[in-house]
Amino acid sequence: YEKQTRSITGSQGTNYWQNSADYEIDVKINSYSQTLNATARIFYYNNSPHSLDKIVFRTYQDFSKPGKSRDWEVNERYLTGGMEISKLNINSVDIDLKSKSVSRGGTNLVIKFDTPLNPKSTCDITIDWSFKIPEDFPRMGKYDSTSYMIGHWYPQVSVFDDIDGWDMIDYKGQVEYYNDFNNFNVRITTDRPNMCVWATGVLQNPSDILNDNYLKMYNVALKGQDFFEVDCSLLDADNQLTKNNGNNVWYFKAENIPDFAFATSDHYKWKMKNVNSGKVNLHAAFRPNALAYNKYDVFSIAEKFIEFMGNSYPGVQYPYPSMTVFNGEGGMEYPMIINDDDTETWESTVYLTSHEMSHTFFPFYMGTNERKYAWMDEGWAVFLPQEFQSAMNIIAPVDSNRDTNRIDSKAYNVRAYLRTSGTFYDIPMLSISNQLRSPSYRLNAYNKSALVYDILKDMVGEDMFKGFLKEYIRIWNGKHPTPYDFFNLFNTFTKTNYNWFWKKWFMEFGTTDLSITEVNQTDDNTLNIVITNKGGLPVPVEISITDRNNKNIVINKNASVWVNSQTISISEKLVDKVSVIILGNKYIPDINLKDNEYKSN
């Protein structure tokens, strides 16, 4: 704040800055040896007021090297040699990777400059590298002989920011990423017939790659007039999707994004159409027998979620020109492409797809630091699917094997939170994410944070909450907000000081535990109830009162009732004597329900 890079109002300060880079990359995939070879020219722009005495690269593929420190054990047969760098040139000087000016440890490569990189100047970097595509690398890798999700694959200049300087946090597998906003021109060379590539950005040269009949279908789909759909597993030598027996260069371009990833296969089903009123090229690429594709129509789910994000939450139009849902393993997000496992139910298809696509805004469009504060993106990626699934309940398909009304991811998240809340694993949310292990990490990153966003919505009202979310995105998209920017902007937008709330949920130990501690009813049937917040964390209050004639009254109070006290008193005039009082509901977490019910004698 003193340097005015940030403002106490929650916006950028007058001296805010951030660095960036342009990446020109040529990459070849050898699907016979399962290796990647690439060369890149990187222009790194020091937009800061600081002279840089070094530059830091992330070499994420070193995660799979023997001896690397990891957050979990791995099978040794999946280990590789990591990223092998054969050439590195900086500002026309060849760098000896064995020299004293170079240090390489974990997943960081640090090069000290002989001459500092001055403010407002550019660093010109050329680098050649290769690696074996791993089988058991978190979030990316080889799924069969030709099907790969290629993420964390290029030497990436780390973030130098106004908070920490260079980001030197080592990647150990659990926490995710933090990147600047860069431009990418990437050319991907394939080596098999019908080998398809889906990637971040927009394909620039479909006419160089697709045979004429498929190119016509593709162009029609680009106009949103019909689907481009092909099952590559059914193609043969007389009916090829790609030219040149698949020896092609797929050229993708993407601007002002934090990362680039791509995926390949020669036997997937591929469906594409321009959706969202001509704004987004939507792709689905799945194994031919995938339930998510064939039974649950993952393409339609992704299309509906793009519309939902623009029209409901967060109420901002999907900001990129493309999106691909790729069928790999687990679940992982990259800008404009996500990695989805196949799913066994319609509900899981809806949740997984919308969860990974939510990351489009958080962290990609918003530039948050997942390494330090994973709740700033994962919490939204739980909250937004909860809202989406509630809307999708209306059109849930009929299936005799299940209850279509059981979709309730919000209640599920409350139960997940309660499994760990109040234990020794439950620590304040501002604890740095890369220092945590599960279950502490997962509790803070996913469960607590989604709860907090829901409590905030209840506390200020949905209209105010949606208004804040739009303003937060408007001010901080393409930049690097911190937790304090989020807190301060919320205070500014709502014109209310919620520091008491941030302090309790983010900075102090506590849990969610309300109790009925006193009940009395006067002669005129005025019921007086005292509720105590034994856990300390502010949550909403719901009280269900039933009198002896079975008349029911429900009283709701939002979490602001706990601003000044850990006890509240509620009075209600009844017609008859009280019979039963129930405190709470399935959406309000409470670790001890034994003191949440009162029955009169």
pLDDT tens, 547-575? 999 999 999 999 999 999 999 999 999 99
Q: What are the tens digits of pLDDT across the range 212-259?
A: 999 999 999 999 999 999 999 999 999 999 999 999 999 999 999 999
Asked if residue 458 has pLDDT above 70, the reply is yes
Rounded distance, CA 22 to CA 80, Å?
29
The pLDDT confidence band at residue 74, using thresholds 50, 70 and 90, is: confident
Asked if residue 137 has pLDDT above 90, the reply is no
3-state secondary structure string across 163-209: CCEECCCCCCCCCCCCCCCEEEEEEEECCCCCCEEEECCEECCHHHH
Calculate mean pLDDT across residues 313-317: 96
Of residues 136 and 397, more confidently modeled: 136
Q: What is the mean pLDDT of the chain?
A: 95
Asked if residue 396 has pLDDT above 80, the reply is no
Calculate mean pLDDT across residues 482-510: 98
Of residues 84 and 136, more confidently modeled: 84
Rounded distance, CA 452 to CA 589, Å?
11
Non-local (6+) Cβ contacts of 189 within 8 A are 26, 27, 28, 29, 247, 248, 249, 250
Beta bridge partners of 435: none
Q: Which of 534, 584, 540 is nearest to 421 (CA)?
A: 534
Q: How much is the pLDDT for 104? A: 96
Q: How much is the pLDDT for 399? A: 57
Q: How much is the pLDDT for 397? A: 63
- The one-letter code for the residue type at 496 is T
pLDDT cut 70: percent of the chain above it? 98
Calculate mean pLDDT across residues 480-501: 98
Separation in Å, CA 262 to CA 102, 143, 147:
30, 14, 11
Calculate mean pLDDT across residues 312-328: 97
Q: How much is the pLDDT for 363? A: 97
Q: How much is the pLDDT for 400? A: 44
Q: What sign does the dihedral 113-115-116-117 (CA atoms) show?
A: negative
Asked if residue 393 has pLDDT above 80, the reply is no
Calculate mean pLDDT across residues 484-504: 98
Calculate mean pLDDT across residues 385-397: 81
The pLDDT confidence band at residue 402, using thresholds 50, 70 and 90, is: low
Q: What are the tens digits of pLDDT across the range 355-374?
A: 999 999 999 999 999 999 99
pTM of the model: 0.96
Six-digit token pair at 268?
């997937």
